[in-house]
RNA sequence: GUGGUUGUAGCUCAGUUGGUUAGAGCGCCGGAUUGUGGUUCCGGAGGUCGCCGGUUCGAGACCGGUCUUCCACCCCA
């Protein structure tokens, strides 16, 4: 056999059935975004490395897919870097473009570049693939879709509330049980402030995050390993052990952070968001969780994460507020807040729970059997009426054996089959067969339409 | 990036301490049934055993490398 073709690690093909399912997810998400007044944009798959580099931390830079320059790029490379085999420095000379790593940074670039055409507050959504040179695992791909909603140019906490409503709406529509975890970067900053370890905030949250897995003693041990003083660890105890209702957590934080201005600001922000939410009808549970440390590189206020309750998979949605993001591109004082739905992980969750409504994945509803040229032409006319009524219908293109045509309908899970042979043509009718019940009857095209539309 | 794991027909997997022409189930194609699928019966096609190299008289089995899969860490959707 010839060499088997393959696709790169961490990428996937999608069959028609898989596409139907994925489109159902995308359409559902999109319709919610639109319902809240967000508008779509798209940005190129590749960006200049200068806009991408340094936005995701050192780790992120390594995970960027870089695109080789065109032409004789090695001729322009510094010889010393080449002989030193210095990959980092050589890369900057032979590559100036990269594949986008997320949709937030390209969006920030978009906002800055189009600031004079944009009306603020700008509410946009963006559904496009992103690429990461990560090592693939389950629920972790090198090419995957993100569905981002962001609003820039507004400091109002109403935006945070709206985003949680959107999450609630999307997951209700999809039928996935989730919990929204909420945190605030200002609280984390405040905590670091009062224990005098401002630079260790990431180590602290990473350690606290392991509480469920490894227990309190091991968490404290890890904190010691990260060179935190005993006094600092002591002060952290009420925070690590933070429990109870959101209200109780807020009260604890207020007293722990009473000497930190930033910390209290964060607490009051969360309190406001929770208060607003309480006046609305939200079915999703919202939980204050200090261990959320995601995106610390640019989040400055609220931090969100959504986890599926019935499937073990990483977070399926995440986001937060970033006050300074466009600042990197030269536009100051534009605050943004947004979240990103991970379509591929949602897809995995939907599949394991089999949550697709049947009608969302049917392709053809009605197949006309082909008995020959004359009959096919009769069917073609009937098809025009059927399609005009909004029914997805097709004619088997060849006058193959009946058995083969029926098997085709069966395989494609077509709901109804229409047969129009000599007898039917004489009566100006068709024989309509329900493929799941096996029942069939001689009806007019109009009658067939109403049966199918039921 | 670190450590581990996996790879035999389209799919799920057998394959005995290395020993002749590599098997099953499902699926696929054809027939039984010249206007009726999903059941049944009969027949058929399809594999340089992930790839490259090594050990051996002999490798799907052993060794090395490489790619791939999945897992943990890291990070994250």
Q: Is the CB of A344 under 7 A from strand B?
A: yes
- In sequence order, which residues have a C-beta less than 8 Å from that of residue A232 and are 6 or more positions away? A195, A196, A197, A223
Task: Determine what percent of chain A is predicted with pLDDT higher than 70.
Answer: 97
As given in the structure block, the two tokens for residue A363 are 């392709």
More confident residue, A80 or A304: A304
DSSP lists the bridge partners of residue A48 as A97
Chain centre distance of CA A48: 24
The answer to whether the C-beta of A5 is closer than 7 A to strand B is no
* C1' (B36) to CA (A369) span, angstroms: 10
Beta strands in A325-422 (DSSP E): 336-342, 366-368, 393-395, 416-419
Residue A1 has pLDDT above 70, yes or no: no
Q: Is the pLDDT of residue A400 over 80?
A: yes
3-state SS class at A81: helix
Determine which helix (DSSP H) or strand (DSSP E) holds A64, and give its type and residue range: none
Q: Between A222 and A443, where is the model more confident?
A: A443
Q: Which nucleotide is nearest to A8 (CA to C1')?
A: B68
Structural contact between residues A196 and A311, judged by C-beta atoms closer than 8 angstroms:
no
**Alpha-carbon span A439 to A454, nearest angstrom:** 15
Query: Would the ipTM clear 0.85, i.e. be above it?
Result: no
Q: Give A189's contacts (C-beta < 8 A, 6+ positions apart).
A: A198, A201, A260, A262, A263, A266
Band the pLDDT of A235: cuts 50, 70, 90. confident
Residues 357-386 on chain A lying near strand B, CB distance under 7 A: 371
Q: What percent of chain A has pLDDT over 90?
A: 55
Q: Put residue A156 in one of left, alpha, beta given phi > 0 → left and psi -120 to 50 → alpha.
A: beta
Give A408 CA → B45 C1' in Å. 21
- The whole-number pLDDT of residue A105 equals 92
The pLDDT tens digits of the residues spanning A338-380 come to 999 999 889 888 888 888 888 888 889 999 999 999 999 999 9
Least confident of A144-148, A224-228, A383-387: A224-228
* Structure confidence at residue A295 (pLDDT): 57
Q: Which nucleotides of chain B are near protein (any atom < 7 Å from a CB)?
A: 1-3, 28-31, 33-38, 47-48, 50, 67-77
pLDDT category of residue A206 using cuts at 50, 70 and 90:
confident
Residue A190 has pLDDT above 50, yes or no: yes
What pLDDT, in 10s, does the model give residues A432-443? 999 988 899 999
Adjacent-strand bridge partners of A317:
A306, A341
Strand B atom within 7 Å of A116 CB: no
As a whole number, the mean pLDDT across chain A is 88
In this complex, the answer to whether residue A144 has its CB under 7 A from any atom of chain B, a nucleic strand, is yes
- CA A132 to C1' B67, whole Å: 19
**Strand B contact with A431 (CB < 7 A):** yes
Q: Report pLDDT for A79.
A: 75
CA atoms within 13 A on the CB side of A438: 0
Q: Read off the pLDDT of residues A2-41 as tens digits, 9 standing for 90 and up.
A: 356 778 888 888 888 888 889 999 999 999 999 999 999 9
Q: Tens of pLDDT along A275-298?
A: 999 999 999 999 998 877 665 667
Measured in whole angstroms, the distance separating CA A291 from the mean position of its chain's CA atoms is: 21
Q: Is the CB of A438 under 7 A from strand B?
A: yes
Q: Is the CB of A295 under 7 A from strand B?
A: yes
Q: Is the dihedral of CA A23, A316, A40, A47 positive or negative?
A: negative
The arithmetic mean of pLDDT across residues A299-313, rounded, is: 87
């Amino acid at each position: 056999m010839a060499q088997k073709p393959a696709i790169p690690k961490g990428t996937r093909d999608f069959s028609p059935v898989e596409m139907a399912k994925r489109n159902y997810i995308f359409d559902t998400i999109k319709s919610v975004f639109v319902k809240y007044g967000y508008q779509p944009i798209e940005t190129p798959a590749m960006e200049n490395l200068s806009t991408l580099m340094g936005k995701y931390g050192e780790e992120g830079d390594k995970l960027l897919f870089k695109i080789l320059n065109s032409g004789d790029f090695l001729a322009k490379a510094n010889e010393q870097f080449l002989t030193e085999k210095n990959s980092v420095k050589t890369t900057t000379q032979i590559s100036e473009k990269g594949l986008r790593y997320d949709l937030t940074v390209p969006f920030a670039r978009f906002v800055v570049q189009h600031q004079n055409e944009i009306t603020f507050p700008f509410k946009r959504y963006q559904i496009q693939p992103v690429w990461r040179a990560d090592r693939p695992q389950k629920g972790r791909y090198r090419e995957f879709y993100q569905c981002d909603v962001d609003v820039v140019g507004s400091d109002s906490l109403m935006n945070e509330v709206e985003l949680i409503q959107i999450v609630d709406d999307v997951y209700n529509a999809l039928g996935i049980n989730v919990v929204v975890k909420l945190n605030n970067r200002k609280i984390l900053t405040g905590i670091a402030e009062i224990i005098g370890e401002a630079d260790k905030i990431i180590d602290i949250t990473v350690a606290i995050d392991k509480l469920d897995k490894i227990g309190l003693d091991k968490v404290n041990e890890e904190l010691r390993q990260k060179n935190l003083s005993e006094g600092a660890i002591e002060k952290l105890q009420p925070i690590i052990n933070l429990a109870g209702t959101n209200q109780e957590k807020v009260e604890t934080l207020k007293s722990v952070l009473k000497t930190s201005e930033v910390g209290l600001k964060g607490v009051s922000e969360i309190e406001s968001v929770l208060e607003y939410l309480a006046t609305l009808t939200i079915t999703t549970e919202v939980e204050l969780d200090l261990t959320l440390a995601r995106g610390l590189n640019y989040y400055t206020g609220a931090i969100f994460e959504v986890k599926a309750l019935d499937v073990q998979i990483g977070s399926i949605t995440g986001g937060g507020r970033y006050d300074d993001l466009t600042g990197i591109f030269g536009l100051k004082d534009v605050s943004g807040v947004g979240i990103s739905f991970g379509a591929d992980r949602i897809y995995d969750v939907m599949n394991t729970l089999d949550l697709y409504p049947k009608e969302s994945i049917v392709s053809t509803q009605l197949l006309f059997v082909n008995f020959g040229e004359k009959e096919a032409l009769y069917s073609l006319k009937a098809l025009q009426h059927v399609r005009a009524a909004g029914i997805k219908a097709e004619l088997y293109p060849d006058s193959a054996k009946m058995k083969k045509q029926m098997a085709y309908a069966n395989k494609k899970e077509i709901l109804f089959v229409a047969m129009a042979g000599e007898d039917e043509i004489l009566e100006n009718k068709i024989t309509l067969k329900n493929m799941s019940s096996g029942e069939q009857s001689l009806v007019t095209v109009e009658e067939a339409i109403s049966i199918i539309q039921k």
